């Protein structure tokens, strides 16, 4: 078999892989929060027919054998890297109970309901806890309230944040950022009144009449607050459900795409340290209420890359055609 054909086959595979990446980018041009990927090539292994030699000299330093450069045959190209572009894209106003992160960071979600205890003073301990919790991180703040009063995203995952110490006049959240929990509406007691202490997730949740989120990540809502009296009264009351959590990564390029606009971080990966804080706290980005982040796919770039990749694919097919003609000529020599 000719080396040229092996190289061309490797080139075909590599260019096909790049077309797969480009096709996925274009398919998600209108997907909220989608982060495009960039594909790069690398050359494959080499066969050395002559090694590099520095030559030889005699005892007087006179050259007796000249130096020679190496001679090597390449075997085509391979996939070099598939890197995710985390550049923030254009926010699109959609209104409602939605939010976009105005900078870097990710909303914290999970399909399971659990309380996670963090240590804001120890980034190593916080990172270890978050990586073991198997959270789904997303840039898409498309929120709603489910039938059990929980704040969920478009994937029906629980949205995590920090509960207030009081639902009417909070002074701190999540015990100063230590307790990360799924956010939920307050609990409805058996007598029809509402428990204004932070919910313990044990009883049925009160019905939310309206709900909104602010740039500081605070989720507020209106409930009908019943007092037993006498006389019994029902009053529309504004409450605070909590602050959404925002995760920041030392190396966000180390995140793995998990589909459904989510990313995963696990033990031993390349994301580095992780922190979970509140919007606007320290260097953490604020939110844009009512907005969703659009896809960062650049169609002009994707189409130009598709053209050059297609030409590269065609060039490799031509090498296979020429190699086939050479082999055919060799076979015809026998006739």
* H runs (alpha helix) in the chain: 3-27, 123-132, 174-177, 299-332
User: How far is residue 32's CA from residue 9's CA, in Å, rounded to a whole number?
Assistant: 37
222 is written with which tokens? 């209106």
What integer pLDDT is reported at residue 301 of this predicted model?
96
Of the candidate ranges 15-19, 204-208, 257-261, 313-317, the one whose mean pLDDT is the lowest? 204-208
Q: What is the mean pLDDT of residues 271-290?
A: 94
Banded pLDDT at 335 (limits 50, 70, 90): low
Kindly tell me if the per-residue pLDDT of 334 is higher than 90: no
CA distances from 87 to 34, 121, 247 (A): 10, 29, 16
> 182: closest CA among 125, 131, 254, 112?
112
What integer pLDDT is reported at residue 1 of this predicted model?
58
User: How far is residue 246's CA from residue 275's CA, in Å, rounded to a whole number?
Assistant: 8
DSSP code at position 254? G
Cβ 30 vs Cβ 67: under 8 Å: no
* pTM (2 d.p.): 0.88
What integer pLDDT is reported at residue 17 of this predicted model?
96
Kindly tell me if the per-residue pLDDT of 198 is higher than 80: no
> 19: closest CA among 41, 2, 3?
41
Q: What is the mean pLDDT of residues 98-121?
A: 94
What integer pLDDT is reported at residue 229 of this predicted model?
64
User: How far is residue 233's CA from residue 263's CA, in Å, rounded to a whole number?
Assistant: 47
313 is written with which tokens? 């694919």
CA distances from 27 to 31, 32, 333 (A): 8, 12, 50
> How many CB atoms are closer than 10 A to CB 201?
15
**Burial degree of 333 (CB within 10 A; 0-12, 13-18, 19+):** exposed
Is the pLDDT higher at 59 or at 94?
94
Q: What percent of the chain has pLDDT over 70?
A: 96
Kindly tell me if the per-residue pLDDT of 193 is higher than 80: no
Kindly tell me if the per-residue pLDDT of 247 is higher than 70: yes
Banded pLDDT at 76 (limits 50, 70, 90): confident
């Amino acid at each position: 078999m000719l080396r040229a054909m092996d190289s061309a086959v490797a080139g075909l595979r590599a260019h096909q892989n790049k077309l797969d990446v480009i096709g996925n980018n274009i398919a998600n041009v209108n997907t909220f929060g989608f982060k495009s990927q960039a594909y790069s090539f690398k050359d494959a292994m080499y066969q050395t027919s002559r090694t590099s030699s520095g030559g030889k000299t005699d005892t007087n330093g006179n050259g007796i054998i000249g130096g020679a450069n190496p001679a090597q045959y390449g075997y085509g190209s391979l996939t070099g890297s598939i890197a995710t572009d985390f550049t923030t894209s254009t926010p699109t106003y959609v209104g409602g109970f939605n939010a976009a992160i105005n900078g870097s960071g990710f909303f914290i979600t999970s399909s399971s309901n659990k309380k996670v205890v963090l240590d804001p003073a120890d980034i190593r301990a916080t990172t270890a806890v978050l990586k073991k919790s198997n959270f789904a991180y997303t840039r898409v703040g498309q929120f709603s309230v489910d039938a059990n009063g929980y704040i969920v995203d478009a994937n029906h995952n629980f949205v995590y944040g920090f509960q207030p110490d009081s639902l009417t006049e909070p002074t701190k959240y999540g015990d100063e950022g230590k307790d990360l929990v799924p956010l939920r509406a307050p609990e409805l007691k058996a007598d029809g009144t509402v428990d204004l202490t932070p919910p313990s997730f044990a009883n049925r949740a009160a019905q939310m009449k309206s709900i909104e989120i602010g740039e500081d990540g605070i989720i507020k809502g209106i409930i009908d607050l019943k007092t037993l009296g006498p006389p019994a009264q029902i009053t529309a009351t504004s409450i605070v459900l909590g602050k959404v959590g925002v995760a920041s990564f030392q190396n966000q390029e180390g995140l793995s795409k998990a589909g459904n606009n989510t990313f995963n971080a696990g033990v031993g990966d390349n994301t580095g340290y992780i922190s979970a804080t509140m919007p606007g706290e320290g260097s953490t980005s604020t939110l844009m209420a009512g907005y969703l982040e659009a896809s960062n796919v650049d169609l002009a770039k994707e189409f130009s890359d598709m053209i050059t990749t297609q030409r590269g694919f065609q060039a490799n097919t031509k090498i296979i055609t020429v190699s086939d003609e050479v082999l055919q000529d060799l076979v015809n020599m026998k006739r």
